[in-house]
Amino acid sequence: MTEICPVLYSHQNFRVALLLPAAIATLVLAFLTHRTKHKLHVLNGRPGIVFPMDILKRSHRFSYAAAFGTLARLCSDIVFSAKYAFNYNGPIYLKVFVALTSMFIYGLGYYPLFAGITAERPIGYFIATIFAWVFTADFFITSFCKQPFTISYLVLIIGLLPEIICYLYLTFSLPARFIISIVKPRKKIKLAVDFESSDDLYESIRKSYQGNHVRKLFIKPDPPPPPPEGMKNKIILRLKSLSEKIFYRREKGFRYSARMISLMAVGFVLLYKISLESLVIVYEVFDYLENGLIAQFESIGWTAQPGEAASIETIREGLYIAYYFVRSFRGCTVTSLSFAFLINFVFLFHYLTSYRQNLLSLYKGQSRHLTPRAEKSNSSLMVGSMRYAGYQVGYIAKGFFIQLLLLLIVSFGIATTIIIWDILGDFLVSQVMRIWPVLLTSILLNIGQLLLAKFLFLQEKGDILAMDNRRLFFVVTYFLFFYNIFIGIFSCLMRILKSIILGSLFLPRLDHSVLPRKFQQFDPGFDAYCGFIHVESTHTNPVAMVFISILQAESLTTLKRNKLNDVDCTPMDEKEEMKDQKRRKAKWKWLLAFTLVNNPELSLQRRLVLAKERNENVKEILFSQYAIPEEKRCTESKI
């Protein structure tokens, strides 16, 4: 393969050279941002902290997803190659500091791209566009510069297709946002909800995702559809429900957070990249082995020749066996790679479904599947939220290869059994003939116990857990005790095997723990997921966001009205102003009273908060709320 252009720069040189422009761009964005707390009088409250991404919002989701998709190659290099941002040949014990420095260099290089999208200003979009173009040019130069236009060139394009889509999306969408922000400037108003473009703040709250969610809470849900009639409709409904369980079930109106969409984008691009590269390597390795065996055959001949030595025939038989092994293992490896990719691809949709289900349950105050919030400290939940994104990408990458290894072992075992069937066929048949009575007896006994329990030992054919024929039940349980000892030994081995298989299969899924419920705190992946989902639920609850936005809109409306009165130089009459304040105060008190009367738990929580502010005894309030009244206690004590 001939080179078309020379190597202009290395990976390390590009990352280091990007530091100064990235730092300058970040500083420019910082001076466009106001501080919110400290030293607001210095430099008119500038510079402020500029952040790369609001992980709790749902705006610019696809821009963030595309930006994170461009990081897939870097993530792959970090996970599998431990690639640093600069060359280091010093002591090994200092490599941890080199890794930390490299992570800072990588993060700072991509910082202006994310921060420019988050700023939602013309200058921010301009900076993000410049950096997106730089990264796109670097990607195409390093990926295609050395490749001649042949069939391998097309294979390379297919292998890089998801990354190409992400780069092209940023290349064209960010300049478009920059032009739109200049032509149609929009004043940025900070509301708790995902703000929609509207002059009316209350209408914006209604149209936002959180507003739609709250409006649904006041609408009576539709009754469940009647069962289908006819065999055709039943089959269609069954297939539809099966596809929704296996792949994905859409829920109208729900919007995923930008962080979740970005993680799924990185996961998919990473899986796609690893699978294609592994497939190419597999084909090259097995082609090399197969060509070597063919060369050996051609040197000694494919068939026996008259007067040939016995050693040549022995070598030929060995080569035939090796040739069949190579051909079979090639198919096993390709099949295992395909299944591993398909499993993880389906898991990506399951991540989204599980995230949506867990988040909506937490909005309702339910956390059955997750570790309850009361069992963990707030600091540990916050740490889990910070860890989750990195953990998820790492688990997807490493879990893919563990699943691949498990599938290879199974497929190689099946292929080996088929290949050597002629040699060990009689032995395997004899072993099956020895085992099948035990297996058949165990199956029949399990079915028999189930039938006895349903039709003989339970009332109403097992519809209620009420015992019947007790004496016979005690007799059967006594005699089955001895046989179940032998079955228990086999069941123990099956339990170990199932734990290994399911643990390996669900290793990339952080929304499920591979440990029992009481030991979930020792599962770092699931612990990080619980922290992430609890923090997101606390800070994105639509009811709380809509309530806060209404208060913000009320404050902004009042402020705007006062400014208009000052401009018109028509100050409101003092009596009218007092009436207006009393009217609004009475309105809010009435709404507060109505809410507390219909929500006793909120009433108790409000009393506790007020008691803490006034340094009152919280225990007395709890006791008065839930304890027995004093008169009743006195009467009971006399009795």
**Is the model's pLDDT at 424 over the cut of 60?**
yes
Query: pLDDT class for 133, splitting at 50, 70, 90?
Result: very high
Of the chain, the percentage scoring pLDDT greater than 70 comes to: 85
Residue 129: the pLDDT is: 92
Query: pLDDT class for 3, splitting at 50, 70, 90?
Result: very low
In 32-81, alpha helices (H):
61-69, 72-76
Residue 622: the pLDDT is: 53
Of the chain, the percentage scoring pLDDT greater than 90 comes to: 4
Listed range (180-184, 308-312, 481-485, 521-525) with the worst mean pLDDT: 308-312
Better-scored residue on pLDDT, 137 or 438: 137
**Is the model's pLDDT at 634 over the cut of 50?**
no
Q: Is 3 helix (H, G, I), strand (E, B) or coil?
A: coil
Backbone angles phi, psi at 467, to 5 degrees: -80, 145
What string of DSSP letters covers 452-509? HHHHTSBGGGGTS--B-SHHHHHHHHHHHHHHHHHHHHHHHHHHHHHHHHHHHHTTT-
Q: Residue 418: how many CB atoms within 10 A of its CB? A: 11
Residue pair 178/172 in contact (Cβ under 8 Å)? The answer is: no
Q: Residue 410: how many CB atoms within 10 A of its CB? A: 14
Residue 126: the pLDDT is: 92
Residue 631: the pLDDT is: 47
**What number is the average pLDDT over the span 373-389?**
87
Query: pLDDT class for 501, splitting at 50, 70, 90?
Result: confident
d(Cα 57, Cα 63) in Å, to the nearest integer?
13
**At a CB cut-off of 8 Å and minimum separation 6, what does 222 contact?**
none
**Is the model's pLDDT at 481 over the cut of 70?**
yes
Better-scored residue on pLDDT, 225 or 149: 225
**At a CB cut-off of 8 Å and minimum separation 6, what does 113 contact?**
67, 128, 131, 132, 135, 170
Residue pair 399/507 in contact (Cβ under 8 Å)? The answer is: yes
d(Cα 86, Cα 12) in Å, to the nearest integer?
5
What DSSP character marks residue 79? I
Residue 40: the pLDDT is: 72
**At a CB cut-off of 8 Å and minimum separation 6, what does 306 contact?**
none
Please write the tens of the pLDDT for every residue from 286-331. 888 888 888 777 777 667 666 667 777 777 777 777 888 888 888 8
Please write the tens of the pLDDT for every residue from 18-48. 889 988 998 988 888 877 777 777 777 788 8
Cα–Cα nearest to 258, from 107, 114, 56, 535: 56
**Is the model's pLDDT at 637 over the cut of 60?**
no
> Between the CA of residue 310 and those of 172, 305, 313, 314, what are the distances in Å?
70, 11, 5, 6
What string of DSSP letters covers 570-606? -PPPHHHHHHHHHHHHHHHHHHHHHHHHH-HHHHHHH
Q: Copy the structure tokens of residue 11.
A: 């990976």
Most trustworthy range by pLDDT among 145-149, 183-187, 549-553, 571-575? 549-553
d(Cα 236, Cα 218) in Å, to the nearest integer?
33
Residue 572: the pLDDT is: 54
Residue 618: the pLDDT is: 53
> Between the CA of residue 69 and those of 66, 267, 269, 270, 442, what are the distances in Å?
5, 8, 6, 8, 52
Residue pair 360/367 in contact (Cβ under 8 Å)? The answer is: no
Q: Copy the structure tokens of residue 161.
A: 């297709």
Please write the tens of the pLDDT for every residue from 44-83. 778 888 888 888 877 788 888 888 888 888 877 776 776 7
**What number is the average pLDDT over the span 353-368?**
87
Residue 638: the pLDDT is: 40
**Mean confidence (pLDDT) of the chain:** 79
d(Cα 432, Cα 521) in Å, to the nearest integer?
43
**Is the model's pLDDT at 595 over the cut of 80?**
yes
**What number is the average pLDDT over the span 412-418?**
80
**Is the model's pLDDT at 639 over the cut of 60?**
no
Residue 600: the pLDDT is: 80
